[in-house]
Chain A
C-alpha cells in the first residue's frame, strides 16, 4: 500500500514538474509573436535591411519552435535518443532551404 501511495505521489510530482513552465512558455510565445509582427514596419521606418529582417524573423521562429518542442512536446524530459529523432531531419531542412534559395 505504501508503495502504491509513493508511486502515485511520484507521478503527481513528475506531472507537476512537467507543467511548471507552460504559462511562462505561452507568455514568451505571445510576446515574440507581437514583436515579429512589428518587424516589417519597423524595418521600413528605421531602414533595417531586408536580409536582417529575414534573419530576425527566422531566429525568432526557431526560438518559438524550440520552446514548443522542448516544453509542450516534452522533448526536454525525454530520453536522448528520442530527442535526437526529430533533430536529424533538420539537416535536410537546412540543406533544402539553402539549395532552393541560393541554387541556380
Chain B
C-alpha cells in the first residue's frame, strides 16, 4: 500500500540496535503506582512516581543523546509487513488505553444508573441534570475547551504533514501551536476545577455543604482527571518534540516520532470527544 510509506518510514533502520532499560522501568512504575493505590499505601505510590521520573527522564535522555533503541525497523512478516515496529507498538498501547478509559467510563456509568436525577431540593445522593439551574459544570467554557483540543488535533496532523514535506518552518509552527493549545486546555481545566471545588462545592467526596454531589463528584473528577493527566503527559512529549524540531532533528525522512506522539495526542482528543457529552451534556 503506497500511502503507508509516506508516514510509516522507519527512521534509522540501518543503525546499530541497543536495548533500553527505561521502557521497562516505566512499566514497573505503573505497577508500583497502581499497586500502591490498590493497597492504599502512599510509600509504594511514591516509589512508583519515583520510578516514573527515572524511567521517562532516562528515556528522553537516551533519545536526546541519539542512542537508538532496540526493535527498530519494520515488521517483515505477515500480517504487519512493512509497518514500523514502533508504530505497531504505539497502536497496541492505544488499544490498551481504549481498554483503560472504557473501564473508567463504565465505572462512571455504573454509578450514574444507580443514582436518581437531582430533584429541586436534594435530600440524598443524586445526579444533576445539565438543564437544571443547579448544574455545577460550566458547559459553554468546556465547549470552548473541547474546540481547543479539536483544533490541537488539527495542528498536530498539520505538523506531521509538513514534516513529511520537509517544510521545517511550518512543521515547527504547527508543533508549537499544538503545545500551546494543549497547555491552554489543561489551564482551563485547572481553572474549572478550582471554581468547582471552591465555589460550587463539587468535591470528589460528599461534603457538608452539598453532600448529594459526592457520587457525581467522584465520577467527574476521576474521569476528567485521568484524561487531564493523559493530556499533561502528551504535553511533556510535545515539549520534547518541539525542542527536537527547533534543533532541526526532524525532516522528510525522519518524522516518525511526530507521527507516534500525534497518534497519542489524537487518542486523548477522541477520549474527550466521548467524555464531554457523557459528563456535561447527558443528564442521566
Contacts and interface: CB of A to CB of B under 8 A. Distances in A.
A61 B143 CA distance: 14
B273 A65 contact: yes
Contacts, number: 152
Contacts of A78: 1, 3-4, 83
Contacts of A82: 80, 83, 87-88, 91
A57 B277 CA distance: 7
A1 to B, nearest CB: 17
Contacts of B273: 61, 64-65, 68
B154 A25 contact: yes
Given A18-B6, A40-B131, A61 B109 contact: no
Nearest to A78: B4
B281 A93 contact: no
A58 B266 CA distance: 19
Nearest to A100: B110
Interface of B is mostly: helix
Contacts of A12: 165
Given A15-B161, A22-B161, A74-B7, A96 B156 contact: no
A65 B270 contact: yes
Contacts of B270: 65, 68-69
Contacts of A89: 95, 98-99, 102
B269 interface: yes
Contact of B283 (A15, A33, A50, A72): A50
A19 B110 CA distance: 40
B196 to A, nearest CB: 19
B183 interface: no
Contacts of B83: 78-79, 82
Given A40-B131, A68-B153, A89-B99, A101 B283 contact: no
B5 interface: yes
Contact of A19 (B1, B105, B161): B161
Nearest to A97: B106
A14 B3 contact: yes
Interface in A23-77: 23, 25-26, 29-30, 33-34, 36-37, 39-41, 43-44, 50, 53-54, 57-58, 60-61, 64-65, 68-69, 71-74, 77
Q: 3 nearest interchain CB pairs? A: A14-B6, A77-B3, A15-B164
29 contacts: A8-B252, A11-B164, A14-B6, A15-B7, A17-B3, A19-B158, A22-B157, A37-B140, A37-B143, A39-B281, A40-B130, A40-B282, A43-B131, A57-B277, A60-B277, A68-B153, A68-B269, A69-B266, A72-B157, A73-B262, A77-B3, A81-B79, A82-B80, A85-B95, A86-B95, A89-B98, A96-B103, A96-B106, A100-B109
